[in-house]
Amino acid sequence: MAKLHEECGVFGVCVPDPRERDAAYTAYRALYALQHRGQESAGIAVRRGGQLLLRKAPGLVPEVFDKKTLSDLSGADAAIGHVRYAYDGAERDTFRAQPLLVRHAAGDMALCYNGKLVNARQLRMESETRGGIFQTGTDAEIISHIIVREHLRTNTTEDAILNAMHYMIGAYSLIVLDGKKLIAARDPNGYRPLCIGRVGGCWCAASESCAFEALGGEMVRDVEPGEVVVLTEDGPVSRNVNILARHALCSFELIYFARPDSVIDGVSVDLFRREAGRRLARRSSVEADIVVGVPDSGLSAAQGFAEASGIPYAMGLMKNRYIPRTFIQPTQGQREQSVRIKLNAMGSTVRGKRVILVDDSIVRGTTSARLVKLLRDSGAAEVHFKVSAPPFLNPCYFGTSLPDCRELAAHGRTEEEVCSLIGADSLQYLTVEDMRAAASGLRWGHCDACFTGDYAVPVPHGH
C-alpha cells in the first residue's frame, strides 16, 4: 500500500487583550471548522508571558482538548493550531503531531505547516551533514531546522523565514509563533491555501476562510504566493520573498479538500463545484430520472448538474456525519470499512430510477464501486457515474493524498475500463478544459499536474 502524503489545516491568532478573548479557545474553535482537513491529530501552541506552551495528541479536536486542557493554555496573547492526518497508521502518535515546538539559541519557536517539500530528502541530508539531529520524518522538522539555521544569521524570525524560502521547493503554508511575533508564510507557487482574517480586534491566519466565519469574523484577504505576513495588533505587515515562480494552487483544494463555504484565492469553492457540475451536464447525453450527489464534496457539483440538465436533484445517499473522510483513512482496509457505515442509499428515492451519480473524483475506484453497488442494491435501475474532476493519471509531490500511479483507477485504463471497474452503466469525467474554465476566477494560477503531468517545479525522477 502506497503511503499517503500530509494534508493539514493551520490556524493562528494574535489577541491584543487576553482578558477579552482567550487565544487557545479561539484556536480550538477554528480547528473545529478545519477538522475536515485532518483527523489523525490536533495541537495548539500558545504564547503566555513571552513563553511558549504546547498541547498536542492523536485524535479529533474535541478528543484532544477538553475543558481542563484549554484552561491550562488560558491567558495567552497568541496561539497557533494544527489538524493533521498521517502518512500511515504507524504515525498516529503525539511525536509527529503539530505544532512543532523548537527551543534554540535565538529563542523558542512553534511551527505548524501544511504541504509537502519536493526537496525534503536533500534538505535533511544537508542538515545532517552539519550535525543536525532529526527525531521524526516530517517536513515540519526539516523546515524548523532551516529557519533556526537562518535565524542565527538574521535579526528576526520573519527574516529567517524569508531566507529559508530560498532553499525550500514545493508546497508549504506556514504559521510560526515565537516569543514576540505571529507570522504566516505561503510558498512562492501558492500550492496550499492560506488567508488572513479578522475576528473582532484580533488578526488571524488560516488554511481556509471558513475558520474566520466560525469565529464570527470575516476574511480580509489571501496570503499571496511568496508572501510573509507578520500579524500585529495594528494589522498585517507584509514582506515578499521575490522568488519568480509559477503560481499553482492545488486544483484538488477546490475539487475536494476545502469546505464549500470557503473562498480560496478569490473563488468560492461552492460556486466552482456547481460550475463543474453544469459543465458536466452540458457534455452529457444520458437520459435519467434523478441526479444524486455523493456527500459532501459531490453535492454542489450534483446541484449544478441538475440545474443545467433539468433532471431533478434528489437526496439518494445519506451520510453518517460521525465517520471520518474515507479518502484520508491511512489504510485501504480502514477506507473500505468506513464506506460501509458512512453512506447508506435511500431506497425510496432511487428504487426503479435511472440515477446520475455525481462525485468529486475517482482515485483508486474502490469507493466508487461501493457507491454504485449501494444504489443497485437499493433498486436503482441504472447508475451513470459523473466525475467533477478529470481522471487522475500522475503522482502528486505537493501534499495531495494520491497513491502510487499503479493504484490510480484511470492510470493505464480507458474510460470504458474504469466504468467496468466500478460497475456503472456509463462514466463521464470533467474535461481539463472545463475544469480550467470553472477555476478561471482564481487570482493566481493553479496546478493540474495530477491530471496533465504539467508540474510547476521540477519533481523527483524515477517515480
- What is each CA distance from 272 to 78, 194, 203, 363, in whole angstroms? 34, 18, 28, 20
Exposure pattern of 297-336 as b/e (b: 16+ CB <10 Å)?
bbbbbbbbbbebbebebbebbeeeeeebbbbbbbeeeebe
438: nearest Cα among 252, 306, 279, 283: 279
Judge residue 67's burial from the number of C-beta atoms within 10 Å of its C-beta, 0-12 exposed, 13-18 middle, 19 or more buried.
Answer: exposed
Displacement of CA 439 from its chain's centroid (Å): 17
7: nearest Cα among 400, 449, 362: 400
The size of the chain, in residues, is 463
258: nearest Cα among 211, 202, 222: 211
Q: How would DSSP label each residue in 413-438?
A: --HHHHHHHHT-SEEEEPPHHHHHHH
Using DSSP's 3-state secondary structure scheme, residue 7 falls into: coil
The yes-or-no answer on residue 405 being catalytic is no
Within 13 Å, how many C-alpha atoms sit on residue 288's CB side? 30
Cα–Cα distance measured from residue 60 to residue 433, given in angstroms and rounded to the nearest whole number? 38
Query: Cell triple for residue 238?
Result: 507584509
Cα–Cα distance measured from residue 290 to residue 287, given in angstroms and rounded to the nearest whole number? 9
Q: Are strands 267-268 and 202-206 parallel, antiparallel or unpaired?
A: unpaired
Query: How many CB atoms are closer than 10 A to CB 124?
Result: 19
Judge residue 382's burial from the number of C-beta atoms within 10 Å of its C-beta, 0-12 exposed, 13-18 middle, 19 or more buried.
Answer: middle
Strand arrangement, sheet containing 235-240: 100-104, 107-117, 170-178, 182-186, 227-232, 235-240
In this structure, are residues 199 and 12 in contact, taking their beta carbons and an 8 Å threshold?
no
Query: Cell triple for residue 258?
Result: 476545502
The active-site residue, picked from 8, 112, 210, 450, is: 8
Residues labelled catalytic: 8
